[in-house]
Amino acid sequence: MGTVDDLLAGLDPADRGPVERIYAVAREVVPDAEQGLGYGMPALVYRGKPLISVMRAKKHIGVYPFSPDAVSAVADSLAGHPGIGLDKGTIRFQPEHPLPDDAVRELVRARKGQIEG
């Protein structure tokens, strides 16, 4: 797989906006993050470790912070939002129901804190 930019360029316009927004918010929180790979997926990488990946799957858009604990950190703030599903290490959503920016910030801060140890 290529870079985050390659991933974004290949997405349908309806999917590109919500995916691009998550990466933009993540870069606001961690401006030092660089494009790279995490478990073979295009991702933002911080201090050599995968920070977050956002990918289009067949039936949803998946957000992967590479940490079940980071997903748990935002579970309460996402409760009740339509079209959002949580699983161990993954957040799923539909483009018409994007993740709230505040939840993305909280998710990225949680993962950043884990990386910093």
Share of the chain above pLDDT 70, in %: 99
- pLDDT bin (cut points 50, 70, 90) of residue 34 is very high
Q: Name the nearest CA neighbour of 48 among 38, 58, 57.
A: 38
Number of separate helices (H) and strands (E) present in the chain: 4, 6
**pLDDT tens for residues 39-94?**
999 999 999 999 999 999 999 999 999 999 999 999 999 988 888 999 989 999 99
Which CATH number characterizes residue 59's domain? 3.90.1150.200
Tell me the average pLDDT across 1-15: 89
Tell me the average pLDDT across 89-105: 94
Q: Quick check: 103 and 44 in contact, CB under 8 A?
A: no
Residue 1 pLDDT more than 80? no
Counting the structural domains of the chain, the total is 1
pLDDT, position 83: 87
Q: Name the nearest CA neighbour of 117 among 69, 62, 78.
A: 69
Q: Name the nearest CA neighbour of 9 among 1, 86, 72.
A: 1
Domain housing 41:
4-116
- How many CA atoms are closer than 13 Å to the CA of 84, on its beta-carbon side? 18
- pLDDT bin (cut points 50, 70, 90) of residue 18 is very high
Phi, psi dihedrals of residue 62, rounded to the nearest 5°: -110, 140
pLDDT, position 101: 96
